[in-house]
């Protein structure tokens, strides 16, 4: 069983300014965690909104592709709050949709730097801290594209597969040290960006849900529930799992 030695558990969510990360930050904050909301642009208003609801959220600026910035962020969180109990490495970008050979080296490199190296960087320093404090839980955001292919997204999909490989291997490395490392694989999620796209092109919704047996897109809050559970003592024997939350898209 996981135990937390201080009353205030501390959670970090990257890519917390919007979409899935914002919903996950709200879920952690609502569950009583001091929640550090990290994003490439400091999400000040988003953290203030959660504070206004009576939760404890803190905005942090960090580009997850920058190794030193990630190290400084983890050091800063520990200096301020003493520990890090849960971390959701969620920040991600998509490559412009094009066949593989047409993706430029620059696009490839930035995708790798954020979607793969970003998770690597965060895990590395989170694990170092969790080893010092005797445990913790990490969830990395992969995708349904971490277990399937998707046209025109070779670099992104390769990173999402890599995140699962990294999650599984690190889970083996650290499971005996009280650190549980898992991944969540969202399906098509109705984020604000998706809502905007659908508002501009209503037929897009039908196209998006055509291949989802559940007949609808997921909600950011449904990913948040899964992430929160993976970080909870209720998931104490769950290690190295890639949890699909995709309305059965990837299995049909
Ligand atoms: P989003 O674009 O709404 O949010 C991503 C957040 O990450 C943004 O706030 C952005 O500023 C931040 N970010 C981007 N680069 C960053 C960097 N270098 N350092 C720190 N923060 C950075 O995306 P969404 O949809 O919420 O996706 C979140 C995660 O879920 C991503 O990893 C994405 O690949 C994954 N995902 C999303 C799906 C969806 O349908 N929305 C489906 C499957 C996976």
Helix (H, G, I), strand (E, B) or coil at 230: helix
- Give the Cα separation of 185 and 142 in Å (integer): 5
Query: 218 in ligand 1 pocket by Cβ < 6 Å?
Result: no
Distance 89 CA to ligand 1 centre (A): 10
User: What is the pLDDT confidence band of residue 1, given thresholds at 50, 70 and 90?
Assistant: very low
Select which of 33, 55, 81, 156 is catalytic: 156
For the four alpha carbons of 242, 246, 247 and 249, in that order, the dihedral sign comes to negative
Tell me what pLDDT residue 10 has: 98
Query: 19 in ligand 1 pocket by Cβ < 6 Å?
Result: yes
Distance 177 CA to ligand 1 centre (A): 30
Query: 92 in ligand 1 pocket by Cβ < 6 Å?
Result: yes
Tell me what pLDDT residue 237 has: 98
Query: 93 in ligand 1 pocket by Cβ < 6 Å?
Result: yes
**pLDDT by residue (tens digit) across 55-93?**
999 999 999 999 999 999 999 999 999 999 999 999 999
Tell me what pLDDT residue 5 has: 42
> Whole-model pTM?
0.96
Q: Is the pLDDT of residue 6 over 70?
A: no
Distance 5 CA to ligand 1 centre (A): 32
Average pLDDT of the chain to the nearest whole number:
95
User: What is the pLDDT confidence band of residue 2, given thresholds at 50, 70 and 90?
Assistant: very low
**pLDDT by residue (tens digit) across 182-237?**
999 999 999 987 888 788 888 888 988 999 999 999 999 999 999 999 999 999 99
Query: 37 in ligand 1 pocket by Cβ < 6 Å?
Result: no
Query: 21 in ligand 1 pocket by Cβ < 6 Å?
Result: yes
Tell me what pLDDT residue 197 has: 78
Other Cβ atoms within 10 Å of 71 Cβ, number: 15
What letter would DSSP give residue 248? T
- Six-digit token pair at 61? 């600026």
Contacts of 26 (CB under 8 A, 6+ apart): 50, 55, 224
For the chain, give the percent of residues with pLDDT over 70: 97
**pLDDT by residue (tens digit) across 114-128?**
999 999 999 999 999
CATH fold of the domain at 10-187+228-244: Rossmann fold (3.40.50)
User: What is the pLDDT confidence band of residue 173, given thresholds at 50, 70 and 90?
Assistant: very high
Q: Which of 36, 50, 111, 112 has the alpha carbon at shortest distance from 79?
A: 36
User: Catalytic site residue 156?
Assistant: yes
Tell me what pLDDT residue 3 has: 38
Instruction: Map tokens 């990290």 to a residue.
Output: 38
Which atom of ligand 1 is nearest to 66's Cα? 18
Sheet containing 242-245: which strands, arranged edge to edge? 57-61, 34-39, 10-14, 86-89, 136-141, 179-186, 242-245
Q: Is the pLDDT of residue 49 over 70?
A: yes
Q: Is the pLDDT of residue 149 over 60?
A: yes
Distance 82 CA to ligand 1 centre (A): 27
The ranges assigned to domains in the chain are 10-187+228-244
135: exposed, middle or buried (C-beta count within 10 Å: 0-12, 13-18, 19+)?
middle
């Amino acid at each position: 069983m996981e135990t937390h030695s201080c009353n205030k558990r501390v959670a970090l969510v990257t890519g917390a300014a919007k979409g899935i990360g914002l919903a996950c930050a709200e879920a952690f904050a609502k569950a009583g965690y001091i929640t550090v909301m990290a994003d490439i642009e400091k999400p000040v208003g988003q953290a203030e909104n959660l504070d206004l609801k009576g939760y404890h959220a803190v905005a942090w600026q960090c580009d997850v592709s920058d190794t030193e910035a990630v190290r400084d962020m983890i050091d800063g969180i520990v200096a301020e709050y003493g520990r890090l109990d849960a971390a959701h490495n969620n920040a991600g970008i998509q490559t412009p949709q094009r066949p593989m050979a047409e993706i430029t080296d620059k696009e490839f490199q930035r995708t790798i730097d954020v979607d793969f190296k970003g998770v690597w960087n965060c895990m590395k320093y989170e694990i170092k801290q969790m080893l010092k404090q005797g445990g913790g839980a990490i969830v990395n955001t992969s995708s349904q594209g971490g277990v399937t292919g998707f046209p025109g997204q070779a670099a992104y999909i390769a990173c999402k597969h890599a995140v699962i490989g990294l999650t599984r291997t690190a889970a083996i490395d650290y499971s005996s040290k009280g650190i549980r490392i898992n991944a969540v694989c969202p399906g098509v999620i109705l984020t604000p960006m998706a809502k905007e796209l659908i508002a501009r092109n209503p037929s897009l919704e039908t196209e998006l849900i055509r291949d989802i047996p559940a007949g609808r897109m997921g909600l950011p809050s449904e990913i948040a529930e899964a992430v929160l559970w993976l970080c909870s003592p209720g998931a104490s024997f769950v290690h190295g799992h890639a949890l699909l939350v995709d309305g059965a898209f990837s299995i049909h």
